Structure 1
Amino acid sequence: MSNTATGPLPLLPFFLPASGGQRYCLLHLPPPGQSARGGIVYLHPLAEELNKSRHVAAAQARAFAAAGYSVLQIDLYGCGDSSGDFGEARWDIWHNDLHLACAWLAQRVDGPLTLWGLRLGALLALDFASRAPLPVARLLLWQPELDGRRCIDRFLRLRLAARLLASAEAQAPGDARAELAQGSPVEVAGYLLAPALAQAIDAVSAAALLPRVPVYWLAYQAPDQTSAAPLPALARQWLDQGAALHMASFGDGPFWHSGELLACPQLLEATRELCHDWLAPERNTS
C-alpha cells in the first residue's frame, strides 16, 4: 500500500457476489477521516495484459485515493481471481459486471463517478458509457483500444508467435479466424477465446461511440519520437462532433505487454496533470 504523511491508505480486498459466482475486488479508500470526493471504477485490459499491468493500476489507484477518491478495481468474470474461466467470458457479462461495480460504489460514495480503463478496458468503458445505464461523470482512457476487431487480431497473433517460437507449423491469424467463424474456441497464450466473445468485441468500435461526458485520454509515445505525435483521427472526429476531450502522452513504455515490470512514473504524473481539474485538492472556502 502507498505511504502518505498519515500512513498507509486503507485497502479492502473482497469478493462481490454476482451472477455465476463472485468478482474479486480491491477498494482503495481516501485517508482516514476524509470523505470521498467521488468514486472511480477501474477496468483492466484483456487476458495476460491484466497481470502485466496490475502493479501500475494499483499505483495509480493509490494516487487517486490519496487525492480523495474511492477506487474500485474489479476482476471481470473469467479474469484474474474472479469466478469463471476465461473461455466462459462474454462481453455482455462484463457489461453486467461493470454495472454491478458502478452501482455498488455509487451506493457508498457521494460525488461523481469516473470510469477508468486500460486498453480493452477503456473500450469497454466507452461502450458502457454510451449506453448510459448509470450516470457517469467522466472517462479516463489509458492507451485505449479503438477498434475491437484489431484488438482481437493482435491477440490472435500471439498464437502465431508462440507457434513460431516452438518451431511448430505456423498458423496465420486468418486461420484462427476461420476456427472462430466455425464456432470453435481458439487457445491463445493459455487463454481459451470463445467465438461469442471474439465476435462481440469485433463489433465494438470507438469511432461509433461519441462520448457524452468529458474524456481524458493518455496515449503512449515512444521516447525516440522527438516531435509530438499527431492527433489521432478519432480524436479529431470527436472534437469536431463537440466532445470534451483532453489528451496527453507518456513515454514509460508499453507496460501492458512488457517482459519486465515497469514503474511508469511518467504515466502517473501525466495522469495527475491531465486530470488536474478534478484531481486538484479542494479549497477550503470556510
Structure 2
Amino acid sequence: MATAFDAFYIRAASRSGGQRFCVHHAPRGLPARGVVLYVHPFAEELNKSRRMAAMASRAMAQAGFAVLQIDLLGCGDSSGELSDAGWSDWIEDALLGADWLMNRYPGLPMWWWGLRAGALVASQAAQMCPRASSLLLWQPALSGKLLLNQFLRLNAAAAGLLDGSAKEAMARSRQALAAGDDVGVAGYRLPAAVAVGLEQAVLQLPERVRTVRWLEVVAREPAELLPASLAQVDKWNADMCDAQTWAVSGPAFWQTQEIEDAPVLVYTTVRALLSPAGLKSGE
C-alpha cells in the first residue's frame, strides 16, 4: 500500500516572500524514527529526479521516517522563477522546511538529504541549524564551482560549438554573471545571485553533524565511489565523524534523456538510515 502524503504551501518569511510548495510523507508505525528534509538539485536536474525523490520518500516513510520535500524559491511549484532566486534564499528555504519538520516532530533526529547541488545547500543550512543533525547525500557535488562549469558547458554543447568556441562561450557567460546579469543554462535563466553562491560553495561538514551517509550511483560494474569522494569521506572520518559510503549500480537519473529509476539506490538508502553503526560499502 502506498504511503499517504500531503501537498501544501508554506509561506516564506524571507525577503523574497511568496510560498514554497511542499510534499510531506508521514511516517508509518510508531514511534517515528526521525525526520528527513529533501533538498533538490536545480534546473532540469530537479525535474529529472522528481520520480526518484518520490520513490525514496515513500520508502523512508514506510520505514518510519517523516519526510518533507520542499521546492526552493523559483523552482518547481514554488513562487517565482529561477531568475528571482538567490543562493541565500535557498539556504533560508531549507531552514524553513527544517523548522516545519522539527516543530511537527519535536525531539526526533534530523536528517538533511541533498542531491547534487542540493547537497551543498543542505550542508550550509545544516551549519545554521541549532539542532544536532545528520547528512544523507546523494551524488553530492564537492565543489559548486565544478558544478557551475558543468552547467555552463551545457549551453556550448547544445549549440554544437567546437572546443575553442565553447571556451569562449563559457568565458562570456562568466563575464555576464560577474556583471550581475542572468545567463541561459539548459533553457533556464540562471541569476548571478545563484551562480555566485554556487561557485563559492564547497561541501563541508557542519559543526553539529557527526553522522553522514554518502551514496553514489555508478553506471559500471563493480560500482565504486569516485576517488575524490573517498578522500572527502576519509577526511571527515578523521575528524571523528561517522561517515559511511555506498556505491550502487544504476543510471544517472538526474541527467538521463528519459526519466529513469534506480531502485537499488532507494533500497540502499533505507538500509543506510536504519544502520546507526553503518555498513561497509557494497554490503
Q: TM-score range by the shorter chain?
A: 0.7 to 0.9
What is the percentage of aligned positions where both structures have the same residue? 39
AA matched with 1:17: R
Where 1:15 maps in the other structure, the secondary structure is strand
**TM-score in terms of structure 1 length:** 0.87
Matching residue's letter, 1:71: V
Alignment of 1:193-208 (within 5 A): 193-206=190-203
Unpaired segments ≥5 residues, structure 1? 281-286
Alignment of 1:1-286 (within 5 A): 3=1, 8-19=2-13, 20-31=17-28, 34-110=30-106, 111-131=108-128, 133-164=129-160, 171-206=168-203, 212-225=209-222, 230=227, 232-277=230-275
Q: Which AA in structure 1 matches 2:5?
A: L
Partner of 1:283: none
Give me the whole-angstrom Cα distance separating, in 1, the residues matched to 2:27 and 2:117: 27
**Count of residue pairs brought into register by the alignment:** 269
Native 8 Å contact 1:126 1:211 kept in 2 = no
CA RMSD of aligned residues (A): 2.3
Q: Tell me the residue number matched to 1:284.
A: none
- For residues 29 and 206 of structure 1, the distance between their equivalents in structure 2, rounded to whole angstroms, comes to 29
Distance 1:148 1:24, change over 3 A: same
- Residue 234 of structure 2 aligns to which amino acid in structure 1? R
Conserved? CA contact 2:144–2:199, under 8 Å = yes
* Structure 1 residues 273 and 93: CA distance shift in structure 2, 3 A: same
Asked if the contact 2:135/2:209 (under 8 Å) is kept, the reply is no
Runs of 4+ in 1 over 6 A off after TM superposition: none
Distance in 1 between the 2:89 and 2:223 partners?
42
Q: Is the 8 A contact 1:211 1:243 kept in 2?
A: no
Deviations 1:61-81 (A, max 9, x none): 001110111110000000000
Secondary structure in structure 1 of the residue aligned to 2:89 = helix
